[in-house]
Structure 1
Amino acid sequence: MILRTERTDARTWPVEQLKELFSESFPEFITADRLVSEYIGRVREWFPAWNLTLVDEGEVPVAAGWGVPVRWDGSVAGLPSGYTDSLVRAVEGRERGVAPDTLVICGAVVTPSLTGRGLAGETLLALRRAALESGLSRVVAPVRPTTKARYPLTPIETFMRWRRADGTALDPWIRTHERLDAKILTAAPASQTMTGTVAQWEKWTGLPLPESGDYVIPDGLDLLHVDRTADEGVYREPNVWMQHV
């Protein structure tokens, strides 16, 4: 497959192509992060250079990835708390005139029919190249380990260390980053916080939530805490900080 990388905003993509590309991306409850909703408009307006699409020889988008530029001192303690805080730091840093030196890779998706062909890795490499070519000296990512959903009771600090018999990471997304020489830095136990009413969570998860308490939810990397008296469910999603450069 011959691929070309271009900015996602370089053209208007057919709706059916985008629908296919994003058809199996993230669970519906991801949209319940209220702080992301507050900042995402400015992210899209101010940082389109870090939103890239991989296009095949038939001019079809087959993968996409995006990130935000932030200022980071290179220490584990100085990292954003996770995905959401990265968006906040990028936006507020721009508003204050702080020059960024680090790209935070926020996500990557691949057309479902083409998974397993290395396109996710190619997307990460495209973002990494773009960062270095623009003068950013570091590239990090709050990685969402999808296999963690099978082990919602296991702390992320434990899960991120799990290895297969061949020594590679148990989680395939962590493994993809490691194949590109990225290293695990630390856990981000509350990378995002999703909040909604009980009715909203029942819709997002497809589960009845009859009592207050903690619930295992489909595609959830951790437990959902439900407070029926307050009519609220809160889910904190863990990620793993990894450094590429």
Structure 2
Amino acid sequence: MTDTDRIRITPLAERPSLSTRIYEIADSWPEFTSHEPIVEALLSRVVADFPQYCVVATDGDRVVARGLSVPFNAELDGREETPDQGWDRVLVWAFDDRRWGHAPTTVSALEITVDTEYLGRGLSYRMLAALRDAVGSQGHDELLAPVRPNAKHLHPRVPMADYIRLRRADGLPADPWLRVHVKAGGTIEKIAPASMTVSGSLDQWRRWTGLPFDRDGGTEVPGALTPVHCDTAQNHAVYVEPNVWVRHLARPPA
């Protein structure tokens, strides 16, 4: 049996005992992203409130990957399927709809995270397929995703609109994570220019990054997709992250 064959992927609703363990994964998310207010307020509640829209991968007793998504109603006034505020907006809408009983009309992925030790084994493709299966089993036709291109941090000053046009010789996106989505049948729709916003004092940013934050203007931070805007006179810095909306067909139950 190969390493890949040992890995089991299931909806989290079928394995609720793993709900408290999905963050045991050694991931590569930058430290500053955990200080985004909506992340702090809502992300940890997703697995409890929407387990049927989440998937988990295990290798024996070890949790090695997670995939999270949430349903929301895109037809209410002021809403759309692919909002400019991307990740932040759909997460807020999902919990607002749950509170007020609004029937969901679509689903947005939030993240697929693979343990760093298991990268390069094709697990990201399997996790994306499993999320599409989970969404299809709930009666939805599509899965939207505000994708965080995983090599964009190497080109922080390149506008996202230019970055997503970069292609390999075979015509596929140069970015590895966008390429996974496109090879899986996803269609790049548009940019979410303000998908996540992290703000803080300069001292906070120094603690999060180890950088001095002593000059005005854009500061390049490891892991950030764009420079963090630093204002020394106002004693704050703000990071506004763009993502890329990708649309997938859900996979109906067999």
Does TM, scored on the shorter chain, surpass 0.5? yes
Match among 49, 57, 65 for residue 67 of structure 2 = 65
Q: Does 1:52 pair with 2:55?
A: yes
Q: Does 1:144 pair with 2:132?
A: no
1:5-45 Cα deviation digits (max 9, x unpaired):
23446214897x954x2x23300010221233333355344
Q: Which residue of 2 aligns with 1:11?
A: 17
Structure 2: where are the runs of 5+ without partners?
A: 250-254
Quick one: distance in 2 between partners of 1:94 and 1:239? 25
Report the CA distance shift for 1:59/1:40 in structure 2 as closer, same or farther (over 3 A). Answer: closer
Contact kept, 8 Å, 2:81 with 2:106, in 1: the verdict is no
Identical residues among aligned pairs (%): 35
Contact kept, 8 Å, 1:101 with 1:137, in 2: the verdict is no
Contact kept, 8 Å, 1:62 with 1:110, in 2: the verdict is yes
Quick one: distance in 1 between partners of 2:18 and 2:43? 20
Query: Structure 2 length normalisation: TM-score?
Result: 0.86
Q: Which residue of 1 aligns with 2:164?
A: 160
Q: Which residue of 1 aligns with 2:39?
A: 36
Quick one: distance in 2 between partners of 1:72 and 1:244? 16
Tell me the SS of whatever aligns to 2:139: coil
Contact kept, 8 Å, 2:88 with 2:195, in 1: the verdict is yes
Off by >4 Å, runs of 4+ in structure 1: 12-15
Give the superposition deviation at 1:146.
Answer: 1.6
Q: Does 1:220 pair with 2:234?
A: no
Contact kept, 8 Å, 1:194 with 1:234, in 2: the verdict is yes
Q: How does 1:1-245 map to 2 (within 5 A)?
A: 1-2=4-5, 3-8=7-12, 10-12=16-18, 19=24, 21=25, 23-40=26-43, 42-56=45-59, 58-72=60-74, 78-80=81-83, 81-245=85-249
Contact kept, 8 Å, 1:42 with 1:91, in 2: the verdict is no
Quick one: distance in 2 between partners of 1:149 and 1:13? 30
Contact kept, 8 Å, 1:50 with 1:127, in 2: the verdict is yes
Quick one: distance in 2 between partners of 1:201 and 1:33? 12
Aligned length: 239
Report the CA distance shift for 1:105/1:78 in structure 2 as closer, same or farther (over 3 A). Answer: closer
